[in-house]
Amino acid sequence: MIIGFFLFTAHAFAGIRVNESAPLFSLKDLEGNNFNLADVVGATRKEHVQGVIVSFFASWCQPCRNELPLINSLTDELKGKGIKIIIVNVKEDEKTIKALLADLKVNKPLVLSDRNGKISEKYGVLFLPVTFFVGADGNVKSVIYGEIENKKKLMDSADKIAK
């Protein structure tokens, strides 16, 4: 009964689930350029990629701080597989985001700012970090809740995008 409660609770707070459409959004990057997810996935996409990884983070989140360097180190490898990596900061100012990225030496993924938290709400993000693996069709193929602790975990989920 206790296990059932925890499974029900985790499922109830899961946000966007596998095989559901990823909510489309448009956000600015740290240079002020507009990024539109519909340009990368779904029927109206302009870029022909296998998919996109969307990872939500914040500077105060220690698991986020732990995983960002790993994500950074795999950006080129994933790009070679046709997968675009986007990291989305939740509710922090540009100065805080830039200081964190400089401190962690994270400089490869596209960094977006969800200053008002509207996009994280659309995705049902209740805790950080959380990472969504979205296929070219615009559907979520995998979700990792919590810290991505190693390359294998990230790459196994990334492989689901191409299938």
Would you give per-residue pLDDT tens digits along the chain (163 residues)? 444 333 333 444 458 899 999 999 999 999 999 999 999 999 989 988 999 999 999 999 999 999 999 999 999 999 999 999 999 999 999 999 999 999 999 999 999 999 999 999 999 999 999 999 999 999 999 999 999 999 999 999 999 997 6
Tell me what pLDDT residue 2 has.
Answer: 44
Domain that holds residue 15: 2-159
pLDDT in the model for residue 162: 75
Cα distance between residue 27 and residue 10, in whole Å: 29
- The answer to whether 124 touches 100, Cβ cutoff 8 Å, is no
For residue 1, the model assigns a pLDDT of 45
Backbone φ and ψ for 47, nearest 5 degrees, come out as -95, 140
The count of structural domains within the chain is 1
Give the residue from 160, 139, 138 showing the smallest Cα distance to 44: 138
E strand spans, the chain: 26-28, 34-36, 51-57, 83-90, 110-114, 130-135, 140-145
Q: pLDDT value at position 11?
A: 41
- pLDDT (0 to 100) of residue 15: 80
Query: What is the CATH number for 66?
Result: 3.40.30.10
- The alpha carbon torsion through 15, 68, 157, 78 (nearest 10 deg) reads 130
This prediction's pTM? 0.91
- First CA to last CA distance, the chain: 36
